Amino acid sequence: MAAKRSLGRGLAALIKEPTVSDSAAQAPDAKGVRHVSLDRIRKSSVQPRHAFDAEALSDLANSIREHGIVQPLLVRPTGDHFELIAGERRLRAAGEVGLTEAPVIVMEVSDEDALQLALIENLQRENLNIIEEAEGYRALATEFHLTQEDIARRVGKARATVANALRILDLAPEVRDMLARGELSAGHAKALLGLASPVEQAFCARRAMSENLSVRSLENIVRKAQQAPRKPRAARSDLPREHLGDLSDTLHRVFGTAVRIQPSRTYANGKKGKGTIEIDFYSNDDLDRILQVLGVAEG
């Protein structure tokens, strides 16, 4: 059927023949499309999209006002009403322009298939934000026990794309919020995954946003932050590891840049080895700012 082909490989594999519900909607046309009243369509409880861009929704509303709803909504019957499976943006825009009914394809599907269809339809459209996309993949994996390869095949994307998106969900909550708002790109997210500490991830993310850093610049910062201090053999650090971590985090916040601490050491023969503190800066202005924090006036 032509209506199936237009929905993509992943959706077509799930769609079953729509059945006619004489009491709830008019009979379908040759393509299985019928028109139902908007007040009989209930929003889906499994919509993977959380944020709806107001400008994009306005553009869609203008298009619908001019041309109508070109692609039917996917719904399933629930008593005298219909539950929306896919097409919430179209449904919202139709309401905004004052339409009273919408074209739909009515499907008899289980709860599992309804969730899977909603996720795949949105993921195939490629207009979810980075976090919504990653959460959609995770839902497919956890709800239906699909492998990354299975997910990639169903949504028509490379397995590496799915794997990288899922890794983004391991980032600190603050960083995920910044990604969802579009303040950082997927490239920035990939660079930040090189930092194990959520505190460092959030710190570097804020810096990348405030300084409008490129992905390459952020990668360089992360690479420097990953350089662990070298520990001489047969020597004992004079600072406990837990205290060293707390102190590093404190200095990060004070100086607003990466700081590495090499504690002093006590060798087996009782002699002492020096400790060092390294403070990164990236411009003369950055250096001036750090000197001001240290209370050092230029001579």
Q: What DSSP assignment string belongs to 44-82?
A: PTT-------HHHHHHHHHHHHHH---SPEEEEEETTEE
Does a structural domain hold residue 102?
yes
Band of the pLDDT at 53, cuts 50, 70, 90? low
Per-residue pLDDT, averaged over 88-105, amounts to: 87
Residue where a domain stops, chosen among 120, 143, 163: 120
For residue 18, what pLDDT is reported?
Answer: 43
Least confident interval from 20-24, 115-119, 196-200:
20-24
The residue-averaged pLDDT of 32-61 equals: 76
Q: Tell me, what's the pLDDT at 45?
A: 62
**Structural domain containing residue 115:** 2-120
pLDDT at 202 over 90: yes
Q: Are β-strands 101-106 and 73-78 bridged in parallel, bridged antiparallel, or unpaired?
A: parallel
* Domain closes at, from 120, 135, 157: 120
pLDDT band at 20 (very low <50, low <70, confident <90, very high): very low
Q: Tell me how far apart the alpha carbons of residues 132 and 34 are, in angstroms, rounded to a whole number.
A: 30
Residue 215 covered by a domain: no
Question: At residue 211, does pLDDT exceed 70?
Answer: yes
Examine the pLDDT at 46 and tell me if it is beyond 80.
no
Q: What's the CA gap between 180 and 159, in Å, rounded?
A: 22
**In this model, does residue 130 exceed pLDDT 80?**
yes
Band of the pLDDT at 31, cuts 50, 70, 90? low
Given a cut of 50, whether residue 279 has pLDDT beyond it is yes
Judge whether residue 102 has pLDDT over 50: yes
Percent of the chain with pLDDT over 90: 21
As a three-state string, the secondary structure of 33-47 is CEEEEHHHEECCCCC
Residue 195 lies in a domain: no
Q: What is the pLDDT of residue 22?
A: 41
Q: What is the pLDDT of residue 9?
A: 43
The structure's pTM equals: 0.54
Question: What mean pLDDT do residues 101-128 have?
Answer: 77
Separation of CA 248 from chain center: 29
DSSP state of 183: S
Give the pLDDT confidence score for residue 167 in this predicted structure: 94
Which pLDDT score is estimated for 263?
86
Q: Hey, what are 19's tokens?
A: 């059945």
3-state secondary structure of 119: helix
20 in a structural domain: yes
Nearest to 166 by CA among 202, 131, 116, 204: 131
- Domain of 57: which CATH number? 3.90.1530.30
**Mean pLDDT, residues 94-123 taken together:** 82
Within a domain: 139: no
pLDDT in the model for residue 229: 61
Domain end position, chosen among 86, 104, 120: 120
Of these residues, 17, 55, 83, 88, which one is catalytic? Answer: 88
- What confidence tier does 124 reach under pLDDT thresholds 50, 70, 90? low
State how many domains the chain has: 2
pLDDT for the residue 12? 47
**Residue 37, domain member (yes or no):** yes
Query: Above 90 in pLDDT, residue 190?
Result: yes
Burial of 221 (0-12, 13-18, 19+ CB in 10 A): buried
pLDDT score of 17 more than 60: no
Tell me which of 116-125, 155-164, 251-260 is least confident: 116-125
Radius of gyration of the chain (CA): 27
C-alpha 165/C-alpha 190 separation (Å) is 9
Task: Please say if the pLDDT value at position 157 is more than 50.
Answer: yes
Structural domain contains residue 220 = no
Average pLDDT on 18-44 reads 67
Q: Do the domain assignments include residue 46?
A: yes
80 pLDDT higher than 70: yes
- Concerning whether 121 is annotated as a catalytic residue, the answer is no
